[in-house]
Structure 1
Amino acid sequence: MKAAIAIATLTLIFAGLVGYHSLLTNYSQEIDMHADDAIIDNSTNANVHEVATQHLHLNLTLEFDRKVAYGTATHTMKALVDNLNHIDLDARYLNIGQVKSQEGKNLKFHYEEPNPNIGPKLVIEVSNKIKKDDIFNITIEYETTDKTLSLNWLDPEQTAGNTLPYVFTHCEAIDCRTLAPLQDTPSVKSTYSALIRSPRDIKVYMSAVNLGDRVEGNSRVTEFSLDVPIPSYLIALVAGDLEYKKLGRNTGVITEPVFMKACVDELSELQDSLDVAESFLTEYEWGMYTIVVLPPSFPFGGMENPLLTFASPTIIVGDKSQVNVASHEIAHSWTGNLVTNRNWENFWLNEGFTMWSERAIIRKQRGEEFYRVASALGNSSLYDDLNLYGYDSTFTSLHPNYAGANPYDTFSDVPYEKGFLFLTYIETLMGTENFEVFLRFYLEKYRRQSIVYSQFIDTFLEFLDDNFSEQERNKIVTKIDFHTWIFGTGPPPVQLNFSTPNLEISRELADAYLLGNGTPKNYDVFFGYFSLLKCIFLQRLVDRAEDATIPILEQIDKDYTLTTTIDPEQKYLWLQLCIMAGYDKAIPFADEFLGQVGRQKYLLPLYRALKDYDINLAIQIFNKHKLGYHPVAVVNVGRILGV
């Protein structure tokens, strides 16, 4: 395997046994020799080495009464081998009607299920007369089902306006195969277009350019096109009682009319965030940047669909404290959407680079302390997940071994925060200005491509060779243990310090409360903190939950009224602490909160705490609220509770 050979070579160099130039020569040769291994994606059934989709066209009708989408998916494909006789696609929880060639001939097809974690393989038989480099079409007629994980159908009462039904998609990591039959792998990028029919009052948006809509009887027909190739997981759709409002030169927001004013006020700095990102990255090439604030059932903080970022309503707090989520998704316009991980074992190439860029944006906008506090909180969340998995688990590595698992089931803060720490460590060695130059070089080199970790290493070494003296290069390279950073499990090999005076005071304030001597003298400093500094205080309490007694929690709640705070970041930490400490007064508030949010960042830790507190109560609360959760969240909470 390429990974094993790269590890061996890197181990030698970092032990000082071979020279820098020998590394470049040997490493490049090994990359060439093992190039095929790099494109393996164990999370797809598609025969991507034999045929690749160049363009996908969806012609779908949204039927809200039955909560299904039906129509056709037409693939324009290129043969990569001679005598191609079959096409393997990912298709899960779909009813396939028929498959036709571009000549209109019915093609035979059948299902195989090699791995139940990733769904069945749809095998389509084609003429073996297809030669290498031939371009051809196939059209698949199909319908989604009630098991489709990518579609979240909402009744009117589950929306803010309570007027019209609503639906939105979420396809990352491998759920686009439940929206359409396709090559559901980030190793394949294609352009796409769509024609979507909806009830005439329902507006539709997609992660593509809106070419216009028209009313036909009781239906609205909307057409879309995207000429920048993307992986399947970035195909997105939202439909409901929606309106659009422009925020800046090329930024805007979409949400329900009753929620629009709050969103416009909260996201007033969106254009500035995009401009700041463009100032140190490369040119923004997607045209418009639009953020959709979804109903509460959206299970994530945000999702970086190009031209149509999805965001949780939990980021609309009223004080702009949570809009760093928007900065993260903006950064994905480059790292993830333009330069993409080729398989999910390399997910950190998407998220580690994006976390670095997000924090570079907020550092330039909000200053050093905000940046350092955000990084410190991220570090805490990393260690929460390291402890949850166990330090020896492959899922604590930047390059985990999925061994046939659904990659989504292993997603955590590890690729985000450990990846961020890795890149930040490199930044400390070469300087921020040099790192930004390298980042632009990396983005230009792999623009519109899907890559793996070894290409990142190779490009980094190439950049050093072209821009640094031999002495400077050696000084940097000998301090980076690529092997341990990328393949090692548990904590990162180098610890970075993001401390600030206020951050330490916030932690010391928590420690003072835990002494049990009542309200500390400097308790009022808390009121001057921005949200993330307050979360540092709360995270410290959660980390020391075994020292928190009921009287201590009562005193903290009396001083800061955290049980009724409207800030979801503070609230979930506080409620988690209360449940862990057995503070019964907070249970009804936790129940209420779990009925208001669907974001897994809040759901999963609270249900874990409730499980330990009272498993029967946890199941009761889950059963009461699960209809308001996204199907993915239902599965993941159900897994925690064993139901």
Structure 2
Amino acid sequence: MKGTVAVTVAALFLVAFLGYYSETSRYTEVVGTGVSEGVIDNSTNANVHEVVTKHLHLNLTLDFDEKVAKGTATLTMEALVEGLDQIDLDARYLEIMEIKLQDGQTLDYKFDEPNPNIGPKLSIAVPKTIQKNEVFNLTIGYSTTNKTLSLNWLEPEQTAGNTLPYVFTHCEAIDCRTLAPLQDTPSVKSTYSALIRSPKDIKVYMSAQNLEDWTEGDSRVTSFEMNVPIPSYLIALVAGDLEYRKLGRNTGVITEPIFMEKCVNELSELQDSLDVAESFLTKYEWGVYNIVILPPSFPFGGMENPLLTFASPAIIVGDKSQVNVATHEVAHSWTGNLVTNRNWENFWLNEGFTKWSERAIIRKQRGEEFYLVSAALGNSSLYGDLELYGDDSTFTSLHPNYEGANPYDTFSRVPYEKGFLFLTHIQNVIGNDNFEMFLIIYLDKYRMTSITYTDFIDTFLEFIESYFSDQERKNILSKIDFHTWIFGTGPPPVQLNFTTSNLEISRKLADDYLLGKGTPENHDVFFDYFSLLKCIFLQRLIDRAEDATIPILEQIDIDYQLTNTIDPEQKYLWFQLCIMAGYDKVIPSVDEFLGQYGRQKYLLPLYRALNGYDHDLAVEFFNKHKGMYHPVAVVNVGRILNPDSY
């Protein structure tokens, strides 16, 4: 490649583990010095510059009576320095029983908590006899506790089948340290294996290949292996009354038997989504793609665990209107799982690229209008979060300064939608075919590694040097303000247009209702809209909520029956609007909805609106329903209603 600087193996090692970058790096041409990436990850206590995990083996028993997982974690580690005398790990809300080296030597350990937002550091004293580059095993006996954030234990009545207890994990961003003691950072990727014991009628799946399944007395034992290196946040487990159904050549669905037929029907196009993604990205490297439809307490739309994507039952509506969530998780198989952000300040490299890829897939599957409306709606959600934080907040930047915060507490639509807009702007400047060529080069270059924005920019500059003339290169760089896009706060520096005629008609329909003159003449166009266009109508009403009177909302509800719609995306927007406008007839339906779904996308804006409308009522609903919410959702809703207690 013309102008490419040769990179030695040693330099690659430093990039991967030390985050080192010289001031002569290519990206300084367009960004300047930017932000130092010398620290691998501020959100870990692990001393990854001295020792790194190569493999993790979990040997755990799932105790549904005590609601704990207990057993051992064996870390196969490599010393990066001479005279290694201490191993620091992340371990939060865990009870440590014993720590041993592979020779059986028991090791001393202690906890301290330099940063309470990310949990304590488990410091383990090791003999100085370990040599540089030596690979050794460290085995830790431990148990989770009732404070563990990564495990959601459910009683049978909290499941669809009401027959067996259930448990699932969620480890992103830094909650894997509450499942096992380890180096909980995306800067470290390792393979893993597991041996999981459960009651014999409880089926277990993990984000790994299922090797074998057998019974021992009253227990089921299942073994797993993941041979592709992954970051700790992608370790996942689900156990309950579960079955598997094949959907396509290498796709399948896992859920409770009573829910299976609905899921199979709704996800019938999953194989096509995977095939379309593979047609313009690189080879799919994970073998199979399975999606698990979880109980309602799952707090997210989806989670991209390899071989075991998790998804909310909210995406199973009956009309395939919400399956784009599954498409997003499919796209993560490349951006996030294969090429990963090295630290959470670079989270947009996961989510911005994935949002771009998701919309590229649906553009090829469903056409230009669906793509444009999806992007327009995402843009509206971005501005909602910008307003929530304030334009000067570092959390509105693609490279936020966490200042010791738990990265999860800062997650928003910013890395998704602002990241998507940044990449779409680049796509517009260099052309779609060129951008897809760059994306393949980027994915091939960094597969199975963890990177920062500097790697992305260096590769982009190498690409345009190789495929464009000097004048074209200068023209391209004159149109892309890398520094403001990545480090600037507030709205993106370039406003992109995703307008369609139907989108404008949908917004105008909302405006016509807000005139207060009854039902608009063309109101019936709404019935032909797909879900996203209906959400555009509702978002417009929310944006102009101060003009929405109760008689206007009553008329809209008469015309469209939004209080009773089966579409949760429309429903949560409608309820948010009604609460803001004081349309209290919907309050019983809001109460029912809050007890039906634990997805934070719905919970957080509705509880914010309720808190402004009637704090005591919001607390009453929360206390009524929080038993079915995930621990993470309980904390985040609790912070809205009573910040001093959470």
TM-score normalised to structure 2 length = 0.95
Q: After the TM superposition, which of the residue ranges 464-473 and 66-75 deviates more from structure 2? A: 464-473
- 1:631 is aligned to 631
Letter in structure 2 aligned against 1:446: Y
Q: Is residue 2:259 matched to residue 1:255?
A: no
Q: Is residue 2:194 matched to residue 1:194?
A: yes
Q: Deviation string for 1:497-522 (max 9, x for gaps)?
A: 10000000000000000000000000
CA contact (8 A) 1:39 1:343 kept: no
Letter in structure 1 aligned against 2:169: T
Letter in structure 2 aligned against 1:323: V
Q: Is residue 2:342 matched to residue 1:339?
A: no
The CA distance in 1 between the partners of 2:121 and 2:164, in whole Å, is 36
- 5 Å matches for 1:434-445? 434-445=434-445
Give the 3-state SS of the residue equivalent to 1:72 in structure 2.
strand
The CA distance in 1 between the partners of 2:595 and 2:578, in whole Å, is 18
- 1:426 is aligned to 426
CA contact (8 A) 2:94 2:148 kept: yes
Q: Is residue 2:425 matched to residue 1:464?
A: no
Letter in structure 2 aligned against 1:480: I
Deviation at 1:485, TM superposition (A): 0.2
Q: Say if 1:509 and 1:55 are closer, same or farther in 2 by CA, change over 3 A.
A: same
Letter in structure 2 aligned against 1:630: H
Q: Deviation string for 1:136-177 (max 9, x for gaps)?
A: 001000000000000000000000000000000000000000
Letter in structure 2 aligned against 1:71: G
CA contact (8 A) 2:302 2:326 kept: yes
Deviation at 1:40, TM superposition (A): 2.2
Q: Is residue 2:617 matched to residue 1:617?
A: yes
- 5 Å matches for 1:384-423? 384-423=384-423
CA contact (8 A) 1:24 1:461 kept: no
Letter in structure 1 aligned against 2:469: S
CA contact (8 A) 1:312 1:599 kept: yes
The CA distance in 2 between the partners of 1:310 and 1:490, in whole Å, is 32
Letter in structure 1 aligned against 2:332: H
Q: Say if 1:619 and 1:565 are closer, same or farther in 2 by CA, change over 3 A.
A: same
The CA distance in 1 between the partners of 2:551 and 2:580, in whole Å, is 14
Q: Say if 1:34 and 1:129 are closer, same or farther in 2 by CA, change over 3 A.
A: farther
The CA distance in 2 between the partners of 1:30 and 1:397, in whole Å, is 18
- 1:245 is aligned to 245
- 1:350 is aligned to 350
CA contact (8 A) 1:541 1:577 kept: yes
Q: Deviation string for 1:579-633 (max 9, x for gaps)?
A: 0000010111000000000000000000000000000000000000000000000
The CA distance in 2 between the partners of 1:445 and 1:26, in whole Å, is 16
- 2:271 is aligned to 271
Q: After the TM superposition, which of the residue ranges 36-45 and 399-408 deviates more from structure 2? A: 36-45
- 2:133 is aligned to 133
Q: Say if 1:34 and 1:535 are closer, same or farther in 2 by CA, change over 3 A.
A: closer
- 1:320 is aligned to 320
CA contact (8 A) 1:39 1:187 kept: no
Q: Is residue 2:29 matched to residue 1:50?
A: no
Give the 3-state SS of the residue equivalent to 2:126 in structure 1.
strand
CA contact (8 A) 2:26 2:461 kept: no
- 1:367 is aligned to 367
Q: Say if 1:524 and 1:211 are closer, same or farther in 2 by CA, change over 3 A.
A: same
Number of aligned positions between the proteins = 621
The CA distance in 2 between the partners of 1:396 and 1:564, in whole Å, is 35
The CA distance in 2 between the partners of 1:519 and 1:441, in whole Å, is 53
Letter in structure 2 aligned against 1:475: N
- 5 Å matches for 1:557-572? 557-572=557-572
- 2:449 is aligned to 449
- 5 Å matches for 1:59-78? 59-78=59-78
- 1:4 is aligned to none
- 1:20 is aligned to none
The CA distance in 2 between the partners of 1:36 and 1:524, in whole Å, is 55
Deviation at 1:30, TM superposition (A): 12
Runs of 4+ more than 3 Å apart = 23-31, 33-39
Deviation at 1:471, TM superposition (A): 1.4
Q: Deviation string for 1:375-399 (max 9, x for gaps)?
A: 0000000000000000000000000
The CA distance in 1 between the partners of 2:145 and 2:349, in whole Å, is 33
Give the 3-state SS of the residue equivalent to 1:180 in structure 2.
coil
Give the 3-state SS of the residue equivalent to 2:404 in structure 1.
coil
Q: Deviation string for 1:7-36 (max 9, x for gaps)?
A: xxxxxxxxxxxxxxxx987647999x9998
The CA distance in 1 between the partners of 2:402 and 2:25, in whole Å, is 31
Letter in structure 2 aligned against 1:166: Y
- 1:297 is aligned to 297
Q: Deviation string for 1:520-551 (max 9, x for gaps)?
A: 00000000000000000000001111100000
Deviation at 1:38, TM superposition (A): 3.9
The CA distance in 2 between the partners of 1:217 and 1:391, in whole Å, is 60
CA contact (8 A) 1:39 1:342 kept: no
CA contact (8 A) 2:604 2:637 kept: yes
Give the 3-state SS of the residue equivalent to 1:356 in structure 2.
helix
Give the 3-state SS of the residue equivalent to 1:84 in structure 2.
coil
The CA distance in 2 between the partners of 1:66 and 1:56, in whole Å, is 25
Letter in structure 2 aligned against 1:253: V
CA contact (8 A) 1:92 1:178 kept: yes
The CA distance in 2 between the partners of 1:529 and 1:112, in whole Å, is 56
The CA distance in 2 between the partners of 1:289 and 1:38, in whole Å, is 36
TM-score normalised to structure 1 length = 0.95
Q: Is residue 2:174 matched to residue 1:174?
A: yes
Q: Is residue 2:281 matched to residue 1:281?
A: yes
The CA distance in 2 between the partners of 1:35 and 1:78, in whole Å, is 29
The CA distance in 1 between the partners of 2:176 and 2:301, in whole Å, is 19
The CA distance in 2 between the partners of 1:584 and 1:132, in whole Å, is 67
CA contact (8 A) 2:30 2:477 kept: no
- 2:508 is aligned to 508
Q: Deviation string for 1:45-67 (max 9, x for gaps)?
A: 00000000000000000000010
The CA distance in 2 between the partners of 1:241 and 1:286, in whole Å, is 25
The CA distance in 1 between the partners of 2:390 and 2:586, in whole Å, is 30
Deviation at 1:129, TM superposition (A): 1.4
CA contact (8 A) 2:91 2:180 kept: yes
Give the 3-state SS of the residue equivalent to 1:127 in structure 2.
coil
Listed as ranges, the gaps of 5+ residues in structure 2 are 1-22
Deviation at 1:472, TM superposition (A): 1.2
- 1:13 is aligned to none
CA contact (8 A) 1:376 1:498 kept: yes
CA contact (8 A) 1:164 1:241 kept: yes
The CA distance in 1 between the partners of 2:24 and 2:53, in whole Å, is 34
Letter in structure 2 aligned against 1:180: A
The CA distance in 1 between the partners of 2:431 and 2:309, in whole Å, is 31
- 5 Å matches for 1:477-516? 477-516=477-516
Q: Deviation string for 1:398-448 (max 9, x for gaps)?
A: 000000000000000000000000000000001111100000000000000
- 1:540 is aligned to 540
Letter in structure 2 aligned against 1:560: Y
CA contact (8 A) 2:25 2:458 kept: no
Deviation at 1:469, TM superposition (A): 1.0
